[in-house]
A and B are shown apart, each in its own frame.
Chain A
Amino acid sequence: MLKFRFLSLVFMLMCILSCTEEDPEVILVTTEEVLFASGDEIRLLGRVISNQEISLVDHGFYVSEDASFSSPAIVSLGEKDGPGRFIGQLTGLRVGRPYFAKAFMDRGAEIEFGNVLELSTLEPAIIEFSPKFGAVGEEILIEGRNFGADTRVFFGGQEAQVIENTLQSRLRVRVPIPEGNRTVRIRVVVQDREVSLPESFEYQIGTYEKIGTFPESIRVYDNVFFQDGPNRFFIGLGSERRLVFLPGFQRYDLSSSTWQEVAFPGASRSFAFSTDHYIGGGLSQLGSNPFVYEGSFWGYENGAFTQLPDLPFLSRDAIAFELGEDLYVLGKNPDTTKFFFRFDKSEMRWELLPTPEQEFTRNDAVFTYQGNAYLIDSLDGTIWRYNPNLGAWDVIGTYPGSLGNGRGMARVIGDKAFIGLFERSDQVFELDLNSFSWKPKNPMPGLPQSVIVGHFVSGESLYIMRVPDITLAGQFPMDFYRFDPDGI
C-alpha cells in the first residue's frame, strides 16, 4: 500500500511538472519611421512584432490628411507570414500638406492598427540650373528638390520637355523654341506650386535668312571680296573649281536684291589679298608647278578700279587690312620669309615694318576695331592685337570654337566682333570687345564642310556666302545669307 502511495505521489508530481504555462500571445503592429517624404511621395516603415508564427491576410499603412483617418489612402501590401518589418510607399500626395500615417495588419477577424505618425509633404524649390546659356534643343539640368511626378518646366511661357526626373531633385530638360525673348525665367510648376530663380536663361540666338544665290552655276574658290558702302557687295576673281579663272566680279546690290556683273581691268588671279579699297598679289596662273606670281596692285574708289604701282613683294595667300587710310599686308615671300608692309596712300609708298613673331596668312581671320587690327591665328586660335601707333603686338585671347582648316570670317558690328565659319565649321562666336567675353551664336545652315566666299556688313546684319569644300563632288548652289546676330 505504501508502495502504491509513493508511486501515486511521484506520478502526481510528474503531472504537475509537465504542466507548462503557455506564453500569452503577443502580436502587435507599429509604425516605426518615415523613411522618405517628398512633395508628393512618402515611404513608411512598419513592423509586425509577435512571439509566434502568424499569418496576416493583409498589412500596410493608412495615410490621411486628418487625424481621424476619415477617408484614408490605404497602402495594401497583401499577405504576410511571420513577424518582421515592412515598407510601404504612397505617391500622388499633395505638396506641402500635413498627413497622418499608421500601420495596420489584418488577421482575418479584425484590423489592428499601430501608432500614428504625423508627417508633412515637402515644398518644391529650385537651387540652380545650368548651363545658363544654350540653344534650342539642347539639354539643361535643373537642380532643386521635391520635383514630383507631374512636374512641368516653362521657359518664359514655353513649356519644355522634361526628359528625366532623377530622385525628384534633378530635372533634365530640353530647351524649347523661344517665344520672342532672348532671356527668359525658368519656372518649375509642381501641382499648384510654382518656383523659379531670379536668374534668367539666355537663348543662343542669331538667325540666317537666305536672300539669294550666286548668279552663275559655278563654285568659286580662292577669290577676293570687298564692299562699296553698305549696299554693294563684290565677289570675284579666283577660279571656278581651280579650273578656270574668273575674269571679274559679281556685284550684289542690297537695296534692289540684284546681281550685276562687273569687269575687272587687271589680270585675273587667285589667292590675292583684298580689302574694301585694294586688291593685289596672288597667282596669275592656275596650278602650283611652279607658282607664277602676280605683282600688280589695284585700288577701288568711287566705283572704279585704279591701277597703282606694282607691289614691292610677291605674295600668295597674304592677308591685308586697312587702318585709317593705310593698307597693311602680312604674308610670306616665295622663299617663305615673312614680310609686313604698310602702304601709305597719301605718299603712294610702301614701308617695310618689323615682322611679328607669329606668321599670318589668308588662312587667318582679321578685323579692325578702334584703330587696332585683330588677327585670329587659324592654327591655335590665338587672337593677336596690333597697335599701329606703337607697332606692338599682344595676345588678347583665344577663339573658343573650331578652327577647321582655317580661312574664317571676322566682322565687327558696334562693339561686337563676329568670328567663325572657318573651313569645315559652321560655328560663329560673338566677341564682346569691351569685356572680351565670348558667346556662341546659332550655327550657319548649309553644309558645314564649306569655305567662305565672301562676308559683308550692312547695318546690324552680316551677309555671308560660302561654298562647299572643293573636295566635295556635285552641284551645290552658292547661297547668300543675311545673318541677324540678334535674331531669335
Chain B
Amino acid sequence: MEKMLRRFIYLIFLLPVACIDPFEAGLETGEQLLTVEAVFTSQPGRQTVRLTRSDTYGSVFEGLIRPVRSATVVVRDDLGNVVFLEEDQEDRGTYVTTTDFATVPGRSYTLQIQTTEGKVYSSFPEKVQAVPEISNLSVQTTTVPVEGEINPRSGVQLVVDIQDPAGENNFYFWKNGPAVYVLETRPDLFTPRPSDTNPSREPQPKPCCFTCYRNEQIDNSGIFIANDDNFNGLSTKIVAGFVEDDGLRFVNTYRVDLRQISISQDAYRFLRLVKQQTEISGSVFDPPPANIRGNLVNLEDPEEVVLGYFIAGAETVRRIYIDKNDLTFQQPKAIIPDDCRLVEGAQEDAPADWNP
C-alpha cells in the first residue's frame, strides 16, 4: 500500500512536468521609420532622393515598405542656395532635382524634408571633397564556388587605378553606372507558346534579329568603398565594382560606366557599417547586428531614428568596354530563342557613342 502511494506521488510530480505552454514567437511590430536614400554628385543631371517608411521585417503581409509621398524636399548649400525637388509622379516617393543640378567641390550641402504630417527633418551638412580621376580601369575574372552546382558563379571585378591626393583624408565610393552590351539571341529557334489562335507546337523560326544592344542599370552586388589610410598620396589599384556573368552579358562586348564618388568620413563610416551588416554570414567572427544611425535628424525630436544617409560628393566617371576574350572564365552561353528586339531594354541600333 505504501509502495502504491509512493508511485502515485511520483506520478503526481510528473504531471506538471508534462504540461508545456506553447511559446509564442511573435515579432514586435516594426516602427515605420523614415528612410532616406540620396547620393548627390558633381555630375550634372537629375539627382534623386528616395523617401520610404520602414516596416515590420518579414513577408509583404507583415509589412509593406511604403513611399513617403507629397513631401517638400530641398537641398541647400552653405551659401543659402536652395534647390526644390519635385516628386516623380510615376515613381512616388522619389524626388528629383532639375536636370542640371550638380554639387560643387568645396561646398557643403544639407537635405531638408518636410512631410505631410508637418515633421521637418534635416541632414547634417555634407561637405563635398574633390575626387581624383580614375587613371585606369581594368577587369579581372572572379569565380565563386556554389554548393551543389557544377559551375561556379562568376563575373568580372572592375579594378581602378587611382592616384590618391596627398595630405588629405580621402574616402571613395564606387557605383556602377549605366551599361550596354551586345545581346545575341536565336530567333531561328523560336517556338511559340501554344494558344487558341496558334495551337502549333512546331518551331516557327523568325528571320530577325540575332544581334541587339541591350541597356541595363545593374546595382553593385556589394558596397565598394575605400579610405586612403593605406595609400595616402600613392597610386593604387582597388576593386571597385562587380558585374556578374549571367550567360548573356559577356557573349560579345559589354560596356559599363564606373562612377567614382568622393564621400565624407561620416558617409564612409555609415557605408562601412552597412557593408559589414550586409555581409554577415553567420560566422562567430561576424559583427553583432546593429542599428546604424544616418545623418538625418528630426528637428522637433532629435532622438527619432531616421534611417539612411544623405551623401554629397564629387564624381568622376570612367567607361570600359569588356571583350569576351578579357574573361578567363565564362558562364555557358544562355539562349533566348526569339527576336532580340523583344528583350526588355534591347534595341537593334548601337548607341550613338558605342565605340569599343
Binding site for B on A (CB under 8 A): 33-39, 43, 45, 84-87, 89, 122, 124-125, 127, 145-146, 167-170
Contact assessment for B299 and A84 in the assembled complex, using a CB-CB cutoff below 8 Å: no
Contact of B79 among A33, A35, A122 (CB under 8 A): A122
Contact A87–B299 (Cβ < 8 Å): yes
In the assembled complex, the CB of A128 is this many whole angstroms from the nearest CB of chain B, namely: 12
B122–chain A nearest beta-carbon distance, Å: 5
A170 to B81, CA, bound (A): 10
Q: In whole angstroms, how far apart are the Cα atoms of A228 and B185 in the complex?
A: 82
- Please name all residues of chain A whose beta carbon is closer than 8 Å to the beta carbon of B74 when the two chains form the complex: 167, 169
A421 to B112, CA, bound (A): 48
Is the CB–CB distance between A167 and B82 below 8 Å?
Answer: yes
Partner of B303, one of A37, A45, A84: A84
Contact A33 B125 (CB under 8 A): yes
Q: How far is the CA of A36 from the CA of B120 in the complex (A)?
A: 13
Could you say which residues of chain B place their CB within 8 Å of the CB of A86?
A: 302
Residues of B within 8 A of A145 (CB): 79-82
**Does A85 lie within 8 Å of B80, measured CB to CB?**
no
The yes or no answer to B97 lying at the interface (CB within 8 A) is no
- 1/0 per residue, CB under 8 A from A, across B188-229: the answer is 000000000000000000000000000000000000000000
Task: Tell me whether B80 and A169 are in contact (CB under 8 A).
Answer: yes
Contact A38 B80, CB 8 Å, known A84-B303, A85-B297: yes
A77 to chain B, nearest CB (A): 11
Q: Closest Cβ of chain B: how far from A455's Cβ, in Å?
A: 45
For residue A84, which residues in chain B have a CB less than 8 angstroms away from its CB? Answer: 302-303
User: Which residues of B sit under 8 angstroms from A34, Cβ to Cβ?
Assistant: 125
Q: How far is the CB of A198 from chain B (nearest CB, A)?
A: 19
Q: Which of B80, B122, B124, B303 contacts A122 (CB 8 A)?
A: B80
The CA of A146 and the CA of B112, in the complex, are separated in Å by 15
Give chain A residues whose Cβ lies under 8 Å from the Cβ of B79: 122, 125, 145
* Residue pair B82, A35 in contact (C-beta under 8 Å): no
Also in contact, A43 and B303, with CB within 8 A (given A122-B79, A169-B80): no
Q: Which residues of A contact B125 (CB under 8 A)?
A: 33-35
Residues in chain B near residue A45, CB distance under 8 A:
124, 297, 302
Residues of A contacting B297 in the complex (Cβ-Cβ under 8 angstroms): 35, 45, 85, 87
For the complex, what is the distance from the CA of A85 to the CA of B297, rounded to whole Å?
A: 10
* Additional pairs, 16, CB under 8 Å, beyond known A43-B299, A45-B302: A33-B125, A36-B76, A39-B80, A85-B302, A87-B297, A87-B299, A87-B302, A122-B80, A124-B80, A125-B79, A145-B80, A145-B81, A167-B74, A167-B112, A169-B80, A170-B82
Q: In this assembly, does B176 line the interface, its C-beta being within 8 Å of a C-beta of chain A? A: no
* B17-47 interface with A by 8 A CB criterion: none
Instruction: Pick the contact of A168: B78, B80, B122 (CB < 8 A).
Output: B80
Contacts of A125 in B (CB 8 A): 79-80
B122 nearest CB neighbor, chain A only: A35
Give every chain B residue within 8 A of A169 (Cβ-Cβ).
74, 76, 80-82
CB distance from B104 to the nearest CB of A (A): 14
Give the complex CA separation of A120 and B169 in angstroms. 26
Tell me the complex Cα distance, A20–B74, Å: 53
Complex Cα distance, B122 from A146, in Å, reads 17
Interchain CA distance A89-B112 in the complex, whole Å: 15
- A residues near B78, Cβ cutoff 8 Å: 37
Separation of A38 and B112 alpha carbons in the complex (Å): 14
B residues less than 8 Å from A38 (CB atoms): 80
Which residues on A sit within 8 Å (CB–CB) of B299? 35, 43, 87, 89
Q: Which residues of A contact B129 (CB under 8 A)?
A: none
Bound together, the chains give a CA A19 to CA B76 distance in angstroms of 56
- With A127-B81, A167-B74 already in contact, the answer to whether A35 and B124 are too (CB < 8 A) is yes
Whether, in the assembled complex, B260 has its beta carbon less than 8 Å from a beta carbon of chain A, the answer is no
- A38 vs B76: C-alpha distance when bound (angstroms): 10
Kindly report which residue of chain A lies nearest to residue B108, judged by CB atoms: A34
Bound Cα distance from A169 to B72, whole angstroms: 14
B262 within 8 A of A: no
**Nearest CB of chain B from residue A103's CB, rounded to whole Å:** 12
* B94 beta carbon closer than 8 Å to chain A: no
From A35, A39, A124, give the contact of B110 (CB < 8 A). Answer: A35
Given A43-B299, A84-B302, A33-B124 contact (CB < 8 Å): yes
Structural contact, A36 and B110, CB atoms closer than 8 A: yes
**Which 8 pairs between the two chains have the least Cβ-Cβ distance?**
A145-B80, A169-B82, A85-B302, A146-B80, A122-B80, A145-B81, A84-B303, A35-B122
Minimum CB–CB distance from B156 to chain A (whole Å) comes to: 41
* Minimum C-beta distance from B111 to chain A (A): 11
Residue of A nearest to B303 (CB): A84
Residue of A nearest to B82 (CB): A169
In chain B, residues 269-284, which have Cβ atoms closer than 8 Å to a Cβ of chain A? none
| B254, chain A: closest CB distance, angstroms | 43
A contact residues around B124 at 8 Å (CB): 33, 35, 45
**Which chain B residues border A168 with CB–CB below 8 Å?**
80, 82
Q: How far in angstroms is the closest Cβ of chain B from A296?
A: 64
Q: How far is the CA of A34 from the CA of B78 in the complex (A)?
A: 11
Q: Which residues of B contact A167 (CB under 8 A)?
A: 74, 76, 82, 112
CA–CA, A85 and B124, complex, Å: 13
Residues of B within 8 A of A122 (CB): 79-80
- Could you tell me if A43 and B302 are in contact, using CB atoms closer than 8 angstroms? no
**In the bound complex, how far is the Cα of B204 from the Cα of A419, in angstroms?**
66
Chain A residues whose CB sits within 8 angstroms of the CB of B303 once the complex forms: 84-85
How far apart are A97's CB and chain B's nearest CB, in angstroms?
14
- Between A and B, 25 residue pairs with Cβ closer than 8 Å are A33-B125, A35-B110, A35-B122, A36-B122, A37-B78, A43-B122, A43-B299, A45-B124, A45-B302, A84-B303, A85-B297, A85-B303, A86-B302, A87-B299, A89-B299, A122-B80, A124-B80, A127-B81, A145-B80, A146-B80, A167-B82, A168-B80, A168-B82, A169-B76, A169-B81
- Complex CA gap A34/B84 in Å reads 21
Interface 0/1 of B77-92, CB less than 8 Å to A: 0111110100000000
Residue-wise, chain B 297-319 has the 8 Å CB interface mask toward A (1 for contact) of: 10100110000000000000000
